[in-house]
Structure 1
Amino acid sequence: MTDTTIVKCLVWDLDNTLWRGTVLEDDEVVLTDEVREVIRTLDGRGILQAVASKNDHDLAWRHLERLGVAEYFVLPHIGWGPKSQSVRKIAEGLNFAPTTLAFVDDQPAERAEVAFHLPEVRCYPAERVTALPALPEFSPSASTVDSRRRRLMYQAGFARDQARETYAGPDDDFLRSLDLRMTIAPAGHEELTRVEELTLRTSQMNATGVHYSDAALRTLLADPAHEVLVVTMGDRFGPHGAVGIVLLEKKPSVWHLKLLATSCRVVSFGAGATILNWLTDRAARAGTHLVADFRRTERNRVMEIAYRFAGFAESDCVCGSALGDPAGRIERLHLEPSPRPTPSTLTLTAAAGIPFTASAAR
């Protein structure tokens, strides 16, 4: 299958794929320097790695620890069930579309089983492992601070989820216990690659599905009528990194929200709703209407719900006429804003250059 979509997670088989040898038959298995370098290279590019192996879990995991690579793998599935089931659970655990996963195995029958049940997942034979970093689907256009620490952020996220499962109180109390912090700031030139990456990688919480290139973002950054804003978050478990982008064109009577995209990792923290409330509060105090672009895709239903709950709806308001006719399948959703508070579960700050009001703080 030919696909230039960037792989977000590579799922490894173990025996005679990740390492040479078989756990249940050999006293020791061998990890070659070439494969070790593949693991490190993909990790540095922000590509997550997981395991789907038919093996004794404890024994296989001890080998991963002995070889010094256990830390590189998230959501390992080591057992005796079908590998397609393991790959599906990994995708669900990461909240990734199957199209963004790849699977590598030395056994043609195992690759065929995964391909049959999950045809969107790209499958590779073990002999191609060392060639994977050179393939376009494993080669993001840029390496950013967030991409280089993506695995660590996901691992912190799993620890956060585990803490949530064991927390006995109400959800709002748990969210307050996280000490959630959100910052909204103008994108600098060094942050544009992070912004571009968000428009490329985010599908569920992307209002239009449009990818803005680095060149396009730099043009908008130089335009005084546009704001290119980066949203970052963190909590007591560590940084979430850059989790959102707001692309706003400001006209005298209407602010045009051309793009809102947030990482699926922060959906449960209400990031999208918080950003929309903050933006609505700003627009209300500026005395201007808001018009948001929205284009339905196969995966962004959650973003549409966020817009609707924020009060955006179809309208014949004349303010939209200043924006010209929407192209293609773009819808224009309208809101006549009123001041909004930020949820008490989160501390919101805005960096220099962004007007900020008391109602936007906790």
Structure 2
Amino acid sequence: MTGLTDLFELHHDGALAENYPRLPGLLAELTAEELVRAGHLLSRVDADEVLAAQPDQRAVTTVITGPGTLDGLVAPMTAETARHGLLLRPVLAGFDSYVFVLSGDDPEIARHQPDLVLCVLDPSMITRELAVPWEAEDAERVLAEKLDLLEQLVAGFTARSDATLVLNTFPLPHELSAALVDRRSRARLSIAWHEAEVRLLRLAGEHPSVVVIDLDSLVAEGIPLTEPRMSVYAGAYLSEELLVRYAREAGHVARQITGLTKKCLVLDLDQTLWDGILAEDGPDGIAVGGGGRGDAFQAFQRVVKQIGSRGVLLAAVSKNEAEDVRAAFRAHPGMPLSEDDFVRITANWDPKHQNLTELAEALNIGVDSFVFADDSPYECGLVRRGLPGTAVVGLTEEPAWHPRDLLRDNWFTVTELTGEDRTRGVKYKQEVARKTFLSTFSSIEDYLRELDVTVHLGVATAAQAGRVAQMSLRTNQFNLTTHRLQHQDVTRLLADEDSIVFTIASRDRFGDNGIVGAVFYRRDGELAWIDNFLLSCRVFSRGIEQACLAAVLDHAFATGVHEMRAIYRPSLKNAVVREFYPRYGFTTHDHDDERTVFRHDLALPVEIPKHVRFTGEIERPVR
């Protein structure tokens, strides 16, 4: 209750707005019931007051609509977004207004320019349109009509709006099926219902800006679909428990679209990946597989290995002797995981939060990219206090629950998996090798010369839109504006004849880095703009950024541009690139508290570093 108590004290003192960044830590260990209580309190906080006190606070304007009463969703959504470091700005649409919202006929909703639209569907959409008596074929007809309508609404909405639209399946109520007393009719109804849900789920594949939450899987956890009294008397057609669980899933979507997806899973070893204490039991004494608890740990390792295969970096931090850990992974016959699955295994007796900080430096990512999983409440507490940005998963003494506890928060979920995702582990191992290589040189110039950097600047294709959007969402340090783009935003830019999205790819002596950056270029007559410049933290300070900027300026000069302008918007994490444009000859054109506009007259070219081999679709003009 400490987190909830502290929250109420901050509210009592009128200090919630100025302490809003503390909320993820205060809410991290609350139960579902406590989170709802916290949400009721936080929903009364003025969002503008929070933003005035915290100018860099990420806010998510969210429209909530659907066939039924959804007031009960606001409090859990407020808590769930705050738990992930976000500020919810909810816009609650009227009862049964979803058709007007999705069709764009509600000007009040459009005025808010939402980031997220939650269209919470429920079985009442069908049941209210079944005249008594009804047959299975009547339900088939209503289901088909509703899905036809939804498909039309979604197509229009995605063409018109930049918001991410969240829909959901609506499970078949037992009471509806049981009203058909013959089993053949029940089977026919069930088939039609599930086919309608499949059509809903397919919308996510057809529209990049659509997410469909599968309520059937949540109901399968034992959560009631409805509360009959609230359904009849209040038009609240989904139970309070289900709305709370829905809010958790929707909170994950909000975190995803704001670029807060985690990158690296860091695991303890003893009683986390195997049964036993390695220092006491030895490599032969720990259990993975072989029956009993060993099977539970083996099943958990399989889950971890699967996550790693989907682009999540895996690392281990354990209080053990390094040689014992290596022997365990190499020799134990029941291990699904091997040393090669990890970008780094740290085994020593140092504090774990210190090891995590060193791991972040080695991988060149922030500690806020980590999810740390450990069975020790003591270690979890130390990491929570020492590294507030790290997500901590406290595992229980029962290993059979480890997969549930790890997967419950969808920390690593992305809109789509890209080719770079699948090879991310290899690329970060290469990055560790580069740092080791660097340590053998007395000067950075010698190191860069021997690194053999090749850079390719190309025009983005439709197939690369997902990767470009992903970088926009997840890149924080070398991101000149931190303007976040969804897949549909990038697709629109690709179709704009006045814009070019350049992709940056690189490789060196250690391997292919893939697509590591993007430049968003826009032409306006004899004036051109660099609306944003992104580069992965993995490839900072190797001359890649200078080479690509030089090529973009050359392209502008060769195509008749007389002046280039570029935008920098400061954030908490991109101060490292504050002087990027001035370093290469740009001067300040305009400045206010929110942004600086730089200009370059293109009179003098920017040179490509001598150690960089540049290739691309842009040739250097003769000046």
TM-score by length of 1: 0.90
Deviates further, 328-337 or 215-224 = 328-337
Deviation at 1:17, TM superposition (A): 0.6
User: Are 2:335 and 1:61 equivalent residues in the alignment?
Assistant: no
Tell me, in whole angstroms, the C-alpha distance in 1 between the residues paired with 2:285 and 2:464.
45
Deviation at 1:207, TM superposition (A): 0.4
Query: 2:553 maps to what in 1?
Result: 280
Letter matched to residue 14 of structure 1:
L
Query: 2:614 maps to what in 1?
Result: 348
Tell me, in whole angstroms, the C-alpha distance in 1 between the residues paired with 2:311 and 2:326.
23
Query: 2:285 maps to what in 1?
Result: 28
Contact 2:363–2:431, Cα closer than 8 Å, also in 1 = no
Query: 1:223 maps to what in 2?
Result: 496
Deviates further, 145-154 or 76-85 = 76-85
Letter matched to residue 353 of structure 2:
S
Structure 1: stretches of 5+ with no match in the other structure: 317-325
Query: 2:433 maps to what in 1?
Result: 159
Query: 1:320 maps to what in 2?
Result: none
Question: Where do 1:35-184 residues align within 5 Å?
Answer: 35-66=300-331, 67=335, 68-127=337-396, 129-131=402-404, 132-133=406-407, 135-167=409-441, 170-184=443-457
Query: 2:564 maps to what in 1?
Result: 290
The size of the alignment, in residue pairs, is 347
After superposition, the Cα gap between the structure-2 partners of 1:302 and 1:273, relative to the gap in structure 1 and judged at 3 Å, is: farther
Tell me the alpha carbon deviations over residues 239-298 of structure 1, each in whole angstroms, 9 at most, x when there is no partner: 011111011111112111111000111112122222212222222333421111211011
Letter matched to residue 30 of structure 1:
A
Deviation at 1:158, TM superposition (A): 1.5
Match of residue 240, structure 1, among 508, 513, 516: 513
User: Are 2:522 and 1:257 equivalent residues in the alignment?
Assistant: no
Deviation at 1:41, TM superposition (A): 2.4
Tell me the alpha carbon deviations over residues 226-248 of structure 1, each in whole angstroms, 9 at most, x when there is no partner: 10111000012110111110111
Tell me, in whole angstroms, the C-alpha distance in 1 between the residues paired with 2:548 and 2:383.
39
Contact 1:231–1:244, Cα closer than 8 Å, also in 2 = yes
Tell me, in whole angstroms, the C-alpha distance in 1 between the residues paired with 2:539 and 2:446.
17
Tell me, in whole angstroms, the C-alpha distance in 2 between the residues paired with 1:134 and 1:258.
37
Tell me, in whole angstroms, the C-alpha distance in 2 between the residues paired with 1:349 and 1:251.
26
Letter matched to residue 356 of structure 1:
E
Deviation at 1:359, TM superposition (A): 6.8
User: Are 2:620 and 1:357 equivalent residues in the alignment?
Assistant: yes
Tell me, in whole angstroms, the C-alpha distance in 1 between the residues paired with 2:551 and 2:366.
30
Q: Which has the higher helix share?
A: 2
Deviation at 1:105, TM superposition (A): 0.6
Query: 1:311 maps to what in 2?
Result: 585
Tell me, in whole angstroms, the C-alpha distance in 1 between the residues paired with 2:447 and 2:390.
36
Tell me, in whole angstroms, the C-alpha distance in 1 between the residues paired with 2:557 and 2:366.
37
Secondary structure of 1:137 counterpart: coil
Deviation at 1:327, TM superposition (A): 11
Contact 1:220–1:228, Cα closer than 8 Å, also in 2 = yes
Match of residue 575, structure 2, among 291, 297, 301: 301
Tell me, in whole angstroms, the C-alpha distance in 2 between the residues paired with 1:314 and 1:176.
33
Query: 2:204 maps to what in 1?
Result: none
Letter matched to residue 39 of structure 1:
V
Deviates further, 295-304 or 18-27 = 18-27
Deviates further, 30-39 or 303-312 = 30-39
Query: 1:13 maps to what in 2?
Result: 268
Deviation at 1:34, TM superposition (A): 2.2
Letter matched to residue 577 of structure 2:
M
Contact 1:11–1:51, Cα closer than 8 Å, also in 2 = yes
Deviation at 1:208, TM superposition (A): 0.8
Q: State the structure with bigger RCO (CA 8 A, min sep 6), 1 or 2.
A: 1
Query: 1:192 maps to what in 2?
Result: 465
Query: 1:322 maps to what in 2?
Result: none
TM-score by length of 2: 0.53
Tell me, in whole angstroms, the C-alpha distance in 1 between the residues paired with 2:606 and 2:461.
27
Secondary structure of 2:546 counterpart: helix
Structure 2: stretches of 5+ with no match in the other structure: 1-27, 29-82, 85-254, 289-296
Deviates further, 173-182 or 241-250 = 173-182
Letter matched to residue 47 of structure 1:
V
Tell me, in whole angstroms, the C-alpha distance in 1 between the residues paired with 2:276 and 2:621.
63
Contact 2:567–2:597, Cα closer than 8 Å, also in 1 = yes
Secondary structure of 2:273 counterpart: coil
Secondary structure of 2:314 counterpart: strand
Tell me, in whole angstroms, the C-alpha distance in 2 between the residues paired with 1:6 and 1:359.
44
**Whose Rg is larger?**
2
Secondary structure of 1:81 counterpart: coil
